[in-house]
Amino acid sequence: MPSAAFTAVPTLKSVKKIQFANTEDKQEFSKYPTKAGRRSLSRSISQSSTDSYSSAASYTDSSDDETSPRDKAQVNTNGSSDFCVKNIKQAEFGRREIEIAEQDMSALISLRKRAQGEKPLSGAKIVGCTHITAQTAVLIETLVALGAQCRWTACNIYSTQNEVAAALAEIGVSVFAWKGESEDDFWWCIDRCVNTEGWQANMILDDGGDLTHWVYKKYPSVFKKVRGIVEESVTGVHRLYQLSKAGKLCVPAMNVNDSVTKQKFDNLYCCRESILDGLKRTTDIMFGGKQVVVCGYGEVGKGCCTALKALGAIVCITEIDPICALQACMDGFRVVKLSEVIRQMDVVITCTGNKNVVTREQLDRMKNGCIVCNMGHSNTEIDVASLRSPELTWERVRSQVDHIIWPDGKRFPLSLHHPAALALIELFNAPEGRYKQDVYLLPKKMDEYVASLHLPNFDAHLTELSDEQAKYMGLNKNGPFKPNYYR
């Protein structure tokens, strides 16, 4: 999910006294809120503009929001308490979100319909750690429909949709996640997913590698019995390759982050829209003429830059990879070092998957009001820990959005915010010996199948090769049509 920030709206310094020409005008004016009422109405409108309908409608009162879900005793309508979410009563709103998401996720729904009778994941016990949104809920419910038992937690402490987590808990999925978890909550939720009596995971679906790391370190006996790991992020894939290189990866793993459908749809096309959605919801910022630096020109960075440029922002990028840097130049973006431009930037966006991309020294040099946000993995890219120093003041603006205030008064807003199904089916059902203890790319045939499931939604019709054409090109008529290295 994208991160974004909120810029405070300046208050009026003075208010003119209004004169009325007649009684009717005065009565008409009186229908509208008083000064205090107008402030309240303004806040209400501002809040509603930043949240989806269902999340706004599912807000609980403030006293409930202050209570940690870990301290609540909750049960779903079936009497189960094997979950920990913000408020199980939000399930109805979450169900609406999921039903809306299903309309735009034709590939998963098609897979669900085609394979539901066969139950290819019967016997699979999947522990998952991903963003918990309406879209991932469609994935989770598809896995359940295909026969899997699932326990789920969030890979990001900021992106969970509470009402969606409640909806999953209501249908019996053991979910441990809520928006705004502390770091201690984050690891507690992961442990609750893994460590439960009478249930042991045999498959892992991870986004970022934290779940895999936790099982590997804390439950090595469980890790050794896992039949496969599916990893969705560049950070998590990097961790898997490190384990493999060190000879410590004792189970096969599938890298779906580098599949074409993941790279293009999730990283490029979805982020191209979500960066604007996230920033607009939280700031209502006008991008035209704004100086923006995007750190990283991978697929996520490309999507962000395209969207920002289209709205008139002046975009430059930072890169360590000469190939990506050259691509940025050919796409019309200036390639810079962050330290060279940091003082002039209105918005700083990180999407590298690395750590400490924006350091405290660079944060100190930012101009007043600069928006800092993260599109990469968790909050490691921005040195948030250094901002917890005593000389800086944190001012909560709204959920997930804080102003960081320097001693001189400077402030900036900070906010941190599927091929996987087929990969799970492939690893779970693969005959012994097909996959060794290593990291594998999603087979190109499977990648093309995922893409083909999307096409009916666009009323797209593929051209079929004739036998002569297939022979000429050296291809099978049914694919794969591209080599494994194609991206």
Binding-site residues for NAD(+): 298-303, 319, 418
By 3-state DSSP, what share of the chain in percent is helix, strand and coil, each rounded to 5? Answer: 45, 15, 40
Nearest CA among 184, 170, 224, 178 for reference residue 201: 224
Cα→Cα distances 240→7, 237, 259, 264, 370, Å: 39, 5, 16, 22, 36
Instruction: State residue 441 phi and psi, 5-degree precision.
Output: -80, 150
Tokens of 61: 């009162």
Tokens of 237: 């894939």
Binding residues, by number, are: 133, 207, 232, 262, 266, 298-303, 319, 418
Alpha-carbon gap, residue 243 to 482, rounded angstroms: 29
Residue 54, C-beta contacts closer than 8 angstroms, at least 6 positions apart = 93, 94, 96, 97, 163
- Tell me whether strands 411-415 and 371-374 are parallel, antiparallel or unpaired: parallel
Tokens of 187: 């690891």
Residue 46, C-beta contacts closer than 8 angstroms, at least 6 positions apart = 9
Confirm if 73 and 164 have CB atoms less than 8 A apart.
Answer: no
Q: Is 433 left (phi over 0), alpha (psi -120 to 50) or beta?
A: left
Nearest CA among 166, 146, 153, 108 for reference residue 127: 153
Alpha-carbon gap, residue 440 to 487, rounded angstroms: 15
Length of the chain: 487
Residue 345, C-beta contacts closer than 8 angstroms, at least 6 positions apart = 291, 292, 293, 366, 367, 370
Confirm if 64 and 157 have CB atoms less than 8 A apart.
Answer: no
Sheet hosting strand 174-176, strand order edge to edge: 174-176, 149-154, 125-130, 203-206, 228-231, 253-255, 439-441
Binding residues for substrate, by number, are: 133, 207, 232, 262, 266
Instruction: State residue 176 phi and psi, 5-degree precision.
Output: -130, 90
Alpha-carbon gap, residue 342 to 291, rounded angstroms: 10
Alpha-carbon gap, residue 136 to 330, rounded angstroms: 35
- The residues that bridge with 439 in the sheet, in sequence order, are 253
